[in-house]
Chains A and B, each alone.
Chain A
Amino acid sequence: MIVRILGEGQLEVAESATGELNVLDAALEKAVNSGDEEAFRPALTALLDRVRALGAPLATDVLEPSDLIFPPADADLEEVRGMMTEEGIIPG
């Protein structure tokens, strides 16, 4: 599958990685929902690090939409929360 880390571009990740990413994503979700700043940063970093480790950068001339999109690495909790609602995403 193709994933995008906002601000970094797209990566090709094996479908089999979904389970592992779901676990990391659940930890991030918990931190965001409970507004837990301390847990948030490590959770986001862990998730994105894993995506980068598992993924291979997509060739720049490939024009394909992503299956999954991840928040930027330097986003703060409020930004991520915003990206999960209508107001948060800035349209291109």
Chain B
Amino acid sequence: MSVMKRVSMIFKAKANKALDRMEDPRETLDYSYQRQLEMLTQVRRGVADVATSRKRLELQMNQLRQQQNKLDGQARQALGAGREDLAREALGRKATLQSQVSDLENQYQSLQADEEKLTVASQRLQAKVEAFRMQKETIKATYTAAEAQSRIGEAVSGISEEMGDVGMAVQRAQDKTAQMQARAGAIDELMASGALEDMTGTPRDDIQAELDAMRTGPDIELELQRLKGEISGGPAKQIEGGAGGGAAASDGAGHAAAEQPQAGEGA
């Protein structure tokens, strides 16, 4: 059977099944109206959920962009210092982040579209609910239970269909939002674990370490030479010399041991 006929049939069957018909059709009107008000609340909550996710994405995009700017600054600094290799590394990482930013941008646009659609759907449902309320009052005031039967059929079916539609739209948006939140959560976790930060530029990241090393490099070299000198003379003195000169020598050796790994990391 054709797609449109099949979808129509199934959709209507479901929408009508969701509607419990009461013995007195006028009760069906009240019951349906209650469900409509609940659905309105649900739709508004759906819009708010999507908006929250959108804002979270916005925050993440801003964070990633800040990190990109930082890498850009580092690349400039490295080039200024004649370190093209470092600049290249920084720009490479900036490019890696760009794919993440682009991904978030796509998600953001998709959420924005969902938010707009749901807002419109919510307004449409609100108008229908108001129309239903007026018809309901007219029917209840004018007709007996028997007479009302035929009058309510169409109104109730019409609004049930609307509720099925908007309910589905909310459900789809929520499913999508849940998926995005899982991905957004993964990025948050990455940032929290430092994996992204290390890659992108906290003061401790390796590009920054090299840039810092270039600034302090000459000093460190001097210090290193001094320590090497101390150590090469040191151990012998330490073993031979008793308690007297030993204190100063072991002090120097301890200092060297503490400094060495750091200098090694920077290089």
Residues of A within 8 A of B (CB): 4, 6-9, 21-22, 25-26, 28-29, 32, 47, 60-72, 80, 83-86, 88-92
Contact = CB atoms under 8 A, between A and B. Distances in A.
A7 B10 contact: no
A15 B36 CA distance: 31
Contact of B4 (A21, A72, A85, A88): A21
B158 A6 contact: no
A65 B162 CA distance: 8
A89 B11 contact: yes
**4 nearest A-B pairs in the assembled complex, by CB-CB distance:** A92-B163, A92-B167, A63-B158, A92-B164
Main secondary structure of the interface of A (DSSP, over half): loop
Given A91-B18, A92-B18, A83 B4 contact: no
B171 A90 contact: yes
A26 B5 CA distance: 11
A7 B121 contact: yes
Nearest to A87: B10
Given A63-B128, A63-B135, A29 B154 contact: no
A91 B164 contact: yes
B3 interface: yes
B223 interface: no
A65 B154 contact: yes
B7 A84 contact: yes
A22 B157 CA distance: 25
Interface in B2-57: 2-8, 10-12, 14-15, 17-18, 39
12 contacts: A7-B117, A63-B154, A68-B5, A68-B8, A70-B4, A71-B7, A80-B7, A83-B6, A83-B11, A89-B11, A90-B171, A90-B172
B3 A90 contact: no
